Amino acid sequence: ADPSQSSPVPAQQCNGSDAQGMSGDDAASVPADGVFGLRILISSVYLVVCAVGLLGNSTVMYLVRAQKGRPASAINVFIFGLALADFHFALTLPFWAVETALDFTWPFGNAMCKLVLTLTVLSVYANVFLLTTMSVTRYCSVASAVRPSLQLTAGLAKRIALALWVAALGATIPTTIFATVTNVAGVELCLLKFPTNRWLGVYHVQKVLVAFVVPLVIILASYLLLLSFLQQHRVNANNPRRQSQITASIWLVVTSFFVCWFPNHVVTFWGALVKFRAIPWDKTFYFLHTYIFPLTTCLAHSNSCLNPVVYCLMRREFRRALKDAFSSLLAQV
């Protein structure tokens, strides 16, 4: 999940021309005059998401690794990578929870600011890239029954997954370079400090396109092709319940990605337009930034909890493996 925030300096210091090039991008925080109860709620949500994310994703990685006796599949390679990205992201949430509770103050020092921001953004990009690739892989795995040339081997999937992590690392470079602790109005803040607001606007537009718009188009196109293929070749035609389950799972994947990320990226893009001075910093944007944007950030963060359920526990082999694991654990108690 990628918060992608506008300038997080205290609101009384922020008028669209102050705080040039600064953003608490990817920091889980609210403006300094935000409601105390809202900040405590957000901090609590992050801690809950952290606990569920660590437990859920570590379970998924265990279940994938526990299937050593079976031939490795491309989709399982990407599921493991996705769980790893979400696990790393969950590790950063306690830092953002503390920062939020302290009303933006960053108590962990400059090195940790750069490290935590980098790991957060890296995990988000890796997450989205893997989700997108998994949608293409699901189509290829079904279509390979008719077109063997579309079949993706586990070995090739591992190389693709590695390339996706490298691409995510490349997209994270600006964060690593510009993340720093800066004193603003007497408060130590962990934020991105770009040379100008225009740089910051370009950074936000890039993130909206690369981490949301393009992946959403690819995911939607892949699953529409998959549904069309299933209907055209009458796959599971004699088992309407199974076909209904597949259709429901596909739309759940698309809907969860869209619902979790769309509100956050809308406000992010609005903030980018403010940085370009295409629209003014007005009361409407101030209200969204102060009270709505932190909630959209929480929703985006929850994606790291949803992924293990949507992509793993809905699959019969994973449910069976999870049941066997719990049975073995209870037998040892």
Place of tokens 């940085």: 275
Q: In 3D, which of 96, 1, 116 has the Cα closest to residue 43?
A: 96
Q: How far apart are CA 76 and CA 137, in angstroms?
A: 10
> Of the given ranges (169-173, 178-182, 221-225, 289-293), which has the lowest mean pLDDT?
289-293
Q: Which of 124, 89, 95, 88 is nearest to 111 (CA)?
A: 95
pLDDT category at 280 given cuts 50, 70, 90 is confident
113 part of a folded domain: yes
Q: Is 35 helix (H, G, I), strand (E, B) or coil?
A: coil
Please state, in angstroms and rounded to a whole number, the distance separating the CA atoms of residues 17 and 155.
51
100-135 residue pLDDT tens: 888 878 999 999 999 999 999 999 999 999 999 988
What is the count of structural domains for the chain? 1
Per residue in 30-45, pLDDT tens? 344 447 788 888 899 9
Is residue 276 in a domain? Answer: yes
3 domain residue, yes or no: no
Task: DSSP for 95-162, please give it.
Answer: HHHHHHHTTTB--S-HHHHHHHHHHHHHHHHHHHHHHHHHHHHHHHHHHTTT-GGG---HHHHHHHHH
Is 209 inside a domain boundary? yes
pLDDT tens-digit map of 209-240: 999 999 999 999 998 888 888 777 765 545 55
Judge whether 2 lies within some domain. no
Residue 1 counted as domain residue: no
Residue 4 placed within a domain: no
In a domain? residue 42: yes
Q: What is the pLDDT of residues 184-212, one digit of tens each?
A: 888 899 989 898 888 989 999 999 999 99
* pLDDT above 80 (res 330): no
pLDDT at 6 over 50: no
Could you list the residue range(s) of the whole structural domain that residue 322 is in? Answer: 11-327
CATH code for position 143: 1.20.1070.10
Joined tokens for residue 298 = 């929480």
